[in-house]
Structure 1
């Protein structure tokens, strides 16, 4: 049981533990970026519980330079996953980078990047009879893409996955595998949720479960899903029942863990497939015990589940400048709407305290290749701690006015908006993240305030 960590970190009230225990609430987010809990106390608590290891949900793509500590703005992954504070749980429902918006520009799964050099992969998708070469005009849904490598077509997912598994010291796990290992339960859960969404007659209820549809040519987008008698129509294709639709959702999930089998069945697949929403994905992270990656499947924690999760820019953001999507009121309403019926109907489910750990705090740890940065950052941390818990953002803005040029271009470049794994061709030495003096004494609220200040000035 990991609920004890709430007591250790003084977060029991923030998690509304009494309401979760009573079942009057079934999902409560706790964003550490808004709390005065020190970085060191969290890392110590994780080290004290060997079974507890929060996932860091990275994306399918280029991890080689991340593992080498030379990935610029993505180095927080190095600090967390390489440092043993979490493990990389790989989310694969992303899209290749393209000439138009919507692709994953951070991990660039449509290319291979190593030592800062990018090799653009030839990409192929199904045209109804065979796989054909695609241009870069539109982002493509990674699970349905094959790449040309060494004169052969290989699933894009498999190409990246094999490269990732070759990286020493990183215990990668596919998010999809967490679901497929308990596929029967997930299918039952989704069937119930779809049936209840149809009974509600609320369009948003479907969007909370299935947010997009993908065609077999890899093009993906928002979808029209509506009940039709006992069945469901998704972008013009009718699924005969809620269970049939739920099973179709699992097809795209299985495509991530069994890509060769998926592509061998292309001629037999429906023309349009449903894609599981981020809201449902986040609930399943907790219900399927992703924070205990080595534990066998079993009954959930009681009286409620305490799920710890390293979230980055989109999920956690960096308060006070931006808070991330998970803690928005609209998102929390959706997450509760999903968790409520699951906690009532399934013995394998329980209410959830979702403790969000802002991964971007580790952007403040410079690389070992720039030792002077650690000394300069230590001076900033001392000023932030002296200024009090509410003043980190303003203190950082003032400090950067006169001290930013003392920091290396590499560290400053981490905070440019829209940047990902560097692919500018610049060779960089491998490095390890260095925790400056005073880093662990910062609260997560202060650390987020500092990062937000850097983003404001340097972004």
Structure 2
């Protein structure tokens, strides 16, 4: 199936399918924002295969207004997950919003938002003897936080997860896929840690464990180094690579079984390892998260073709921003992980990571703004007539004469740093509408148009 899909998308050469087949390469990213594959082609392929559904990796937090189609810049989630083009795969290793930088300002997990109104939660974390209320001066690691509701403490993860279950979206936890394969993931991480120790390269550890979290919820970059047969993590010694790998899975399990995790908190080591984003991205593909409902034991061969809806950080929006996944330094790190995994584990295979830029759907106005739909249809006709590589410059020129015709809501989608609106402004529920000509755009054209919107309105 892998090769046939790449052939139908016209991406066989871009993905280096021959090199993946022979194992000469074990990881190749393909960013559709750099290719002339139409949106219609991709959506039709997804619709035609009942087992294929690319994940849209969103964060733990406030999805109520996203599901209602009134989340401003986050409406691309509505278009993808509500439209059946992908499913919401929830990544919970994020931090609460805070006065300092580093918290999740997009999904704002330290608050409850609905109807544009924000209610700030009272957050508690461990102080060594019990849970105490924390102020908003610093961001806290979500899996280690409890929120006070009606005088009782609830795991922050549970609080949001229960609310999300009422929205009708097919939410899945990234962490559950890992814990379902805990033995395999532990074996893989053990091998990678042992190889990192043998290399004597600090970056090799950062590619596996990027941060450490203390029991009070403070998370930061860490110092991890070998210590004879063991490992020192910010001064705390783990006796072996396997012991460290098992503790990595412990923090993952905190997202799936938070209540049980909190009962064990007093007996845990003072500093816990946090799995890196690089390893997370590898596991997205290796654990078949693009086939969320496939029968157990199915495996793509000779290589994996992983389709994934990436947003601002992961995919960016070429030509202005390419996202982190396709950077050369990231690809080097990912291959440093996939090379030994494919060599040592039958369950692993080389992978083509096909990145679908979710921000293309920012060009789909809500049903409450019909004038925007008509105006953007005119833009799309102009962009298509200008040719595949001219979308960015064409849209810049179009915005100079037409940008003010668009609604304030649509314009606000492209402001930098914006997330789910919490300004108290009432907005009617809506669904994203595809203007005429939207699906005929290539992903490269759509990304070029969005990049121009960000340049002018950001």
Quickly name the TM-score band, shorter chain normalised.
over 0.9
Aligned to 1:398: 397
**8 Å CA contact retained: 1:231, 1:240:** yes
Aligned to 1:189: 188
Aligned to 1:56: 56
Q: CA deviation at 1:133?
A: 0.2
Q: Deviations over 1:288-336 (max 9, x none)?
A: 0000000133153110000000000000000000000000000000000
Distance 1:337 1:193 in 2: 9
CA RMSD, Structure 1 to Structure 2 (Å): 0.6
Aligned to 2:432: 433
User: Secondary structure at 1:265's aligned position in 2?
Assistant: helix
Superposition map of 1:197-212 within 5 A: 197-212=196-211
Aligned to 2:128: 128
Q: CA deviation at 1:204?
A: 0.3
Is there any run of 5+ residues in structure 2 with no aligned partner, and where? none
**8 Å CA contact retained: 2:395, 2:449:** yes
Q: Deviations over 1:378-407 (max 9, x none)?
A: 000000000001100000100000101110
Matched, 1:311 2:310: yes
Distance 1:204 1:299 in 2: 34
Q: CA deviation at 1:3?
A: 3.4
Aligned to 2:11: 11
Q: CA deviation at 1:4?
A: 1.9
**8 Å CA contact retained: 1:62, 1:109:** yes
Distance 1:335 1:449 in 2: 27
**8 Å CA contact retained: 1:145, 1:218:** yes
Matched, 1:415 2:414: yes
Q: Deviations over 1:95-145 (max 9, x none)?
A: 000011000000000000000000000000000110000000000000000
Aligned to 1:375: 374
Superposition map of 1:141-156 within 5 A: 141-156=141-156
Aligned to 2:322: 323
Aligned to 2:30: 30
Q: CA deviation at 1:151?
A: 1.3
Q: Mean Cα displacement is larger for which, 44-53 or 290-299?
A: 290-299
**8 Å CA contact retained: 1:35, 1:443:** yes
Distance 2:5 2:261 in 1: 41
User: Secondary structure at 1:166's aligned position in 2?
Assistant: helix
Aligned to 2:237: 238
Distance 2:174 2:283 in 1: 10
Segments of 4+ moved more than 3 angstroms = none
Aligned to 1:139: 139
Superposition map of 1:324-363 within 5 A: 324-363=323-362
Aligned to 1:285: 284
Q: Deviations over 1:43-78 (max 9, x none)?
A: 001111010000000000000000000000000000
**8 Å CA contact retained: 1:361, 1:448:** yes
Distance 2:99 2:4 in 1: 48
**8 Å CA contact retained: 1:287, 1:300:** no
Distance 1:98 1:298 in 2: 43
Distance 1:394 1:430 in 2: 33
Distance 2:4 2:277 in 1: 28
Aligned to 2:272: 273
Distance 1:154 1:348 in 2: 37
**TM value normalised by structure 1:** 0.99
User: Secondary structure at 1:295's aligned position in 2?
Assistant: coil
Distance 1:292 1:382 in 2: 35
User: Secondary structure at 1:136's aligned position in 2?
Assistant: coil
User: Secondary structure at 2:153's aligned position in 1?
Assistant: strand
Distance 1:84 1:299 in 2: 23
Q: Deviations over 1:250-291 (max 9, x none)?
A: 011000000000000011100000000000000000000000
**8 Å CA contact retained: 1:299, 1:347:** no
Residue correspondences, number:
458
**8 Å CA contact retained: 1:304, 1:351:** yes
**8 Å CA contact retained: 1:299, 1:348:** no
